[in-house]
């Protein structure tokens, strides 16, 4: 088997299939928000080491911004607003799209639903590419920091990891800890080292950096401002100098994030094709009752 065959993407669809996007449509969506023809209907600032959930209607656009700069990482979860059993599936998105997402990539939902939850329409870091250590931004390789691994690695308790921030954020919506799932690490630069181990780098965002997506379905979103801030300091192990930097409430590398939700002009959605996927109607080989 040729080397090119071995290294090409394993998950591919036929021309015009579900992995292709109408780039002209999503470019027009991005133009609406950047040119001011969209209407700002919701905005808030998320303080450091906190979490918040919010709703987005299908056809709206959400923008996550670093308002103060220079850097801050955010951990994002998504659910179908009307059925939280359908939620973002990071692993399948890595396979169908890539491990670090950007404009035109879609974020996919879990089985048995398997559909595009949103499509990325804007990314101010899209030119970051691959840095000299192999780092890329908007990470799907890793997941959220959590108090369990923190206690295991540092021996200390801390209640404001991204996992806990997300747990608190969704509690008003009737969801609980088990509903928190693997995240999209917005603005986070990561990769695999020469030992195939996960690494995190200092976030490359600056004041005004943004990440924007178009909601394909009604969404409940939750975002955590990571207690690691810009990840310029080691959180555990070598380089952390034996301390847990998350325990310092004045940690200078933490900054807020801003969220905006935009309503598009009705005429801009006339060519919007609602995503549909093939539905598996089988029985998984089990006896039919």
In tens, the pLDDT along 79-90 reads 999 999 999 999
Q: What is the pLDDT of residue 115?
A: 95
What confidence tens digit (pLDDT) does each residue in 172-194 have?
Answer: 999 999 999 999 999 999 999 99
Q: Which residue has the higher pLDDT, 93 or 250?
A: 93
Q: Which pLDDT value is given to residue 239?
A: 64
- pLDDT attached to residue 148: 97
Structure tokens at 169: 């954020």
Q: What H or E segment, with its residue span, contains residue 85?
A: strand 83-87
Over 80: is that where the pLDDT of 51 sits?
yes
The mean pLDDT value for 274-279 works out to 78
Categorize the per-residue pLDDT at 61 as very low, low, confident or very high, splitting at 50, 70 and 90.
Answer: very high
How much is the pLDDT for 70?
79
**Residue 153 located in a structural domain:** yes
pLDDT for the residue numbered 10: 92
Residues ≥6 apart with Cβ < 8 Å to 159: 147
Tell me which DSSP letter residue 177 carries: G
CA dist 47 and 169 (Å) reads 13
pLDDT digits (tens, 9 = 90+) for 35-44: 889 999 999 9
Q: What is the pLDDT of residues 225-276, one digit of tens each?
A: 999 999 988 888 776 644 454 455 457 899 999 999 999 999 999 989 888 7
**103-159: pLDDT as tens digits:** 999 999 999 999 999 999 999 999 999 999 999 999 999 999 999 999 999 898 999
pLDDT at 2: 59
Specify the DSSP element, H or E, that contains 240. Answer: none
Instruction: Identify the residue with better confidence: 81 or 15.
Output: 81
162 to each of 25, 126, 176, 177, how far by Cα in Å? 34, 24, 14, 12
Residue 118 structural domain: 20-267
Is residue 3 included in any domain, yes or no? no
Domain assignment present for 12: no
Does residue 232 form part of some domain? yes
pLDDT band at 77; cut points 50, 70, 90: very high
| Cα diameter, the chain | 61
Question: What average pLDDT does range 205-219 have in this prediction?
Answer: 97
In a domain, 45, yes or no: yes
pLDDT of residue 288: 79
- Give the sign of the dihedral formed by CA 66, CA 153, CA 100, CA 111: negative
Asked whether residue 146 is assigned to any structural domain, the reply reads yes
Q: What is the pLDDT of residue 68?
A: 86
Q: What is the pLDDT of residue 9?
A: 92
212, 217, 218, 219: CA torsion to nearest 10: -50
- How far apart (Å, rounded) are the C-alpha atoms in residues 261 and 214? 10
> How many separate domains does the chain show?
1
Tokens representing 210 are 């943004």
Query: Are residues 235 and 228 in contact, defined by beta-carbon separation less than 8 angstroms?
Result: yes
pLDDT band at 7 (very low <50, low <70, confident <90, very high): confident
User: What pLDDT is recorded for position 97?
Assistant: 97
Contact present, 97 and 76 (Cβ < 8 Å)? no
Residue 14 within a domain: no
- 128's CB contacts (< 8 A; 6+ apart) are 136, 137, 189, 204
- Count the neighbouring beta carbons within 10 Å of the beta carbon of residue 221: 25
Taking residues 218-223, report their average pLDDT.
Answer: 98
Q: Measure the N-to-C terminal CA separation of the chain; round to a whole number of Å.
A: 44
Whether 5 is in a domain gets the answer no
Nearest to 186 by CA among 55, 78, 38: 78
């Amino acid at each position: 088997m040729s080397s090119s065959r071995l290294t090409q993407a394993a998950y591919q669809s036929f021309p015009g299939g579900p992995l292709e996007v109408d780039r002209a449509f999503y470019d027009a969506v991005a133009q609406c928000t950047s040119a001011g023809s969209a209407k700002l209907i919701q905005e808030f600032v998320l303080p450091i080491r906190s979490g918040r959930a919010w709703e987005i209607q299908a056809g709206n656009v959400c923008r996550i911004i670093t308002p103060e700069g220079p850097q801050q990482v955010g951990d994002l979860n998504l659910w179908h607003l009307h059925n939280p059993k359908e939620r973002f599936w990071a692993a399948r998105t890595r396979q169908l799209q890539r491990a670090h997402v950007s404009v035109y990539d879609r974020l996919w939902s879990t089985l048995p639903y398997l559909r595009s939850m949103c499509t990325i329409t804007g990314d101010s870091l899209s030119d970051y590419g691959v840095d000299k250590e192999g780092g890329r931004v908007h990470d799907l390789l890793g997941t959220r920091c959590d108090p369990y691994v923190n206690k295991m690695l540092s021996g200390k308790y801390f209640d404001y990891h991204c996992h806990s921030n997300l747990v608190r954020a969704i509690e008003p919506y009737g969801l609980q800890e088990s509903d928190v799932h693997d995240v999209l690490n917005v603005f986070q630069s990561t990769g695999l080292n020469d030992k195939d181990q996960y690494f995190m780098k200092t976030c490359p965002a600056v004041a005004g950096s943004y990440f924007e997506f178009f909601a394909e379905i009604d969404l409940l979103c939750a975002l955590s401002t990571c207690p690691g801030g810009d990840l310029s300091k080691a959180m555990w192990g070598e380089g952390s100098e034996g301390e847990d930097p998350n325990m310092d409430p004045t940690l200078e590398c933490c900054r807020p994030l801003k969220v905006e939700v935009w309503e598009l002009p009705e005429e801009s959605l006339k060519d919007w094709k609602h995503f549909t996927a093939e539905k598996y109607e089988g029985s998984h080989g089990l006896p039919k009752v």
